[in-house]
Amino acid sequence: MRKTGVLLLLLVLAAAPARGSDPCPTATLEAAKALAERAAGFLAKTGPDVAFPRFMNRQGGFVAGDLYVFVFDFEGTLRASGGWPETVGSRVGVADGTDDGASGGIYTRMRRLALDAGKGWVEYAWYNPCTRKMEPKASYIVRVGNFIVGVGAYKKPGV
């Protein structure tokens, strides 16, 4: 079931159109960190029933250009995604922290960082909806209770 979920996630990402009116908005790592911190505070204050729908609403204040909030639980299930709402419910890791291989260990590294430090940066390659290519990306993640809240920015050459 996990492999099917990850394969479905990758197929959805590859087939999806570019997001937003500007096909390739510029986001900074600082903007990603600020949005992640704001989203984590909102989740802590309001809880998942209020926060998750807001994170996935393009007019909810948590999607800005190519920046969007994503939330995983500690079982590896994607609980919210402002960039890819159709992938919510996909499972990318398992409770013991291992990935199935297709996700390149991203979830495991996010989970480990959330458990050990509570927040920080994770670097990996991810599908860019603007260029339709896998590109270097860094996400700032913050642990909020049993959730991992994150926002990532594509790394520009030389950055």
CA end-to-end distance (rounded Å), the chain? 38
Which domain range does residue 92 map to?
2-9+25-154
Tokens found for residue 48: 């998942």
In a domain, 19, yes or no: no
Q: Which residue's entry shows tokens 């291992």?
A: 98
Structurally, how many domains does the chain consist of?
Answer: 1
Query: How many C-beta neighbours within 10 Å does residue 69 have?
Result: 30
In a domain, 16, yes or no: no
> What pTM does this model have?
0.79
In a domain, 14, yes or no: no
In a domain, 93, yes or no: yes
Instruction: For residue 69, give every residue at least 6 positions away whose Cβ sits within 8 Å of its Cβ, in sequence order, or none.
Output: 35, 36, 39, 55, 62, 63, 80, 81, 82, 149, 150, 151
Tens of pLDDT, residue by residue over 19-64, are 444 456 668 999 999 999 999 999 999 999 999 999 999 899 999 8
Phi, psi of 125 (to 5 degrees): -100, 140
Give the per-residue pLDDT at 26.
67
Could you tell me the CATH number of the domain that includes residue 35? 3.30.450.20
